[in-house]
Amino acid sequence: MTTQDLELLSQYLDGELSAGDVSALERRLAQEPRLAAELQRLRRVDEELQALANQPGSDTVPPQIAALLAPVAQTGRVIPFPSRRGRAAVGFALAASLVASVGLVLAPQWQVAEHGGEHADLVAQALESTPSSADQWSSLADGSNLRPVLSFAGTDGRWCREYQLQQADQQWRGVACRTDGGWQTEIQVAEPAELDSGNQYLPAGAHDVDAISDFINRNATDIPLSAAEEAELIDSAWR
């Protein structure tokens, strides 16, 4: 079998030959048993390959991977600031446990914001005014929970916050940075909060969400802000 014939047969299997070349090859196949046998041999390779690739589960996408692409699309890229009037009402030293009730009060006036809906507004409020916490979740008015994890100065001069977000039975971790127009979600990935790590397979990065760590390592100018530094920024509306 010459290389030229091998490539011809391969192109034939892949539907890459012109109609004229197909006719010419099929005439040869009818007259050359060795060529026809080689075609069958290569065809069996393809059948085995496809059987391997199409076995059950081979195209099943784990929900946590599909979720990586969903959440930001739902929340919008830019989370608008809550109104200054609203933020003043929240106050500097607001305890995380009070965020839920304040959010309930303030949410209606934010629903008219141009970008995003009520959920985005509530997230913005929490990012704007809630101190970072190692274990304290803030309940938002729409039933979701948000926990700012840390704050840092970005290399581009913006203030950024890593956060965790829970909604329904899903959980995400992300980083948002403060722009003139609102909190810009820079990266957000799903976290397998519901998985039992003792028995179930966890995909790479499921525990530490490498993409988030990488993002912070690349974009943070320094170590995260201290609690006092962060509190001062929250009080001064991140100025």
Partner 1 sequence: MPSLNSSQREALLAELSGLKRFCFSLTGSQADADDLLQATVEKVLEKGMPEDAHPAKWAYRVCKNAWIDELRSRDVRQRYPEQAEEPESSPSAEQVASQERQVSEVGEALEQLPTDQRLALTLVAVDGKSYAEAAEILEVPVGTIMSRIARARKQLASSMDLADND
Output the six-digit token pair for 90.
Answer: 């929240």
- Under a CB-based contact definition with an 8 Å cutoff, are residues 189 and 174 in contact? yes
Structural Rg of the chain based on CA atoms: 28
CB of 66 to partner 1, least distance (A): 6
Size of the site for partner 1 (CB under 8 A): 57
By CB under 8 A, tell whether 38 contacts partner 1.
Answer: yes
Cβ neighbour number for residue 3 with a 10 Å cutoff: 7
Q: Choose the stretch contacting partner 1; rule: CB under 8 A; options: 4-12, 107-115, 143-151, 223-231.
A: 4-12
Output the six-digit token pair for 218.
Answer: 């690349």
Cβ neighbour number for residue 113 with a 10 Å cutoff: 18
80 or 86: CB nearest partner 1? 80
Output the six-digit token pair for 199.
Answer: 């028995």
- What one-letter code names the amino acid at 77? R
- Under a CB-based contact definition with an 8 Å cutoff, are residues 49 and 87 in contact? no
Q: Choose the stretch contacting partner 1; rule: CB under 8 A; options: 18-26, 42-50, 144-152, 224-232.
A: 42-50
> What is d(CA 203, CA 7) in angstroms, rounded to the nearest whole number?
39
By CB under 8 A, tell whether 30 contacts partner 1.
Answer: no
By CB under 8 A, tell whether 50 contacts partner 1.
Answer: yes
53 or 134: CB nearest partner 1? 53
Phi then psi for residue 234, to 5 deg, are -60, -40
By CB under 8 A, tell whether 16 contacts partner 1.
Answer: yes
Angle at CA of residue 207, ends 168 and 79, nearest 5°? 50
32 or 94: CB nearest partner 1? 32
CB of 44 to partner 1, least distance (A): 6
38 or 118: CB nearest partner 1? 38
Query: Judged by CB under 8 A, which of 18, 19, 20, 73 binds partner 1?
Result: 73
Residues 178, 127, 121, 70: is their CA dihedral positive or negative? positive
Q: Choose the stretch contacting partner 1; rule: CB under 8 A; options: 8-16, 96-104, 140-148, 223-231.
A: 8-16
> What is d(CA 30, CA 199) in angstroms, rounded to the nearest whole number?
57
Residues between 172 and 211 with contacts to partner 1, criterion CB under 8 A: 185-187, 189, 201-208, 210-211
**Residues of this chain that bind partner 1 (CB under 8 A):** 1, 3, 6-7, 9-11, 13-14, 16, 34, 37-38, 41-42, 44-46, 48-55, 57-62, 64-66, 68-70, 72-73, 77, 185-187, 189, 201-208, 210-211, 214-215
